[in-house]
Amino acid sequence: MQIGAGSRSLAGMEIQVAALCDSAADYDGKLSLLGAFDTIVTGTLPAIHPQCSVALRILFRKEEEGPHSVSVLFVDEDGKSIVPPMETTFDVVLPEDLFFSTRNLILNLQQLPFARPGAYSIDVSVDKRQMASIPLQIRLIPIAPA
């Protein structure tokens, strides 16, 4: 597909946004994020993070019309899941006058358990192909006795 004279060919789906944040919302196709972060500091372990959201914005082009699946795995540095895998499926259909379409996906997570400090990852796959990885680190800073 060519857009305009001399422009480059546009092909392939892409993840435009992949973020871990305090909250996210979709307002008529507009993805709104609040408080994106990559580090959780805790004074004790195990720790429970009360609430957060994974926000994704995926762009699909005309050639990607049809059924798609998105899966999200939240894993520790050993690759072990800390919550059950999450997956959704949907169909992409573009009207004739559109060259691309975006899909916003928001996963609200509550009571996330962290047994130890270290590196964690939120791995995002589209149609069983990993497309993004959101890093997260858990830091233990013990609370000093009073």
Share of the chain above pLDDT 90, in %: 88
Evaluate whether residue 50 is within a structural domain. yes
For 120-142, what is the mean pLDDT? 96
Write down the pLDDT at residue 7.
34
Query: What mean pLDDT value characterizes the chain?
Result: 91
Evaluate whether residue 54 is within a structural domain. yes
Q: Which CATH number does the domain housing residue 91 bear?
A: 2.60.40.10
**Three-state SS across the chain?**
CECCCCCCECCCCEEEEEEEEEEEEEECCEEEEEEECCEEEECCCCEEEEEEEEEEEEEEEHHHCEEEEEEEEEEECCCCECCCCEEEEEEECCCCCCCEEEEEEEEEEEEEEECCCEEEEEEEEECCEEEEEEEEEEEECCCCCC
Is 40:136 a contact under the CB 8 Å cutoff?
yes
How many structural domains comprise the chain?
1
Cα separation of 91 and 66, whole Å?
5
Evaluate whether residue 103 is within a structural domain. yes
- Rg of the chain over Cα atoms, rounded to whole angstroms, equals 18
Would you state the torsion angle of the CA atoms of residues 125, 21, 99, 67, taken in this order, to the nearest 10 degrees?
Answer: 40
Domain that holds residue 58: 14-140
Write down the pLDDT at residue 4.
39
Per residue in 6-31, pLDDT (tens digit) is 333 345 789 999 999 999 999 999 99
Per residue in 67-103, pLDDT (tens digit) is 999 999 999 999 999 999 999 999 999 999 999 999 9
Evaluate whether residue 34 is within a structural domain. yes
Lookup: tokens for 67: 């059924």
Write down the pLDDT at residue 9.
37
Evaluate whether residue 5 is within a structural domain. no
Evaluate whether residue 84 is within a structural domain. yes
Would you state the torsion angle of the CA atoms of residues 50, 18, 105, 119, taken in this order, to the nearest 10 degrees?
Answer: -40
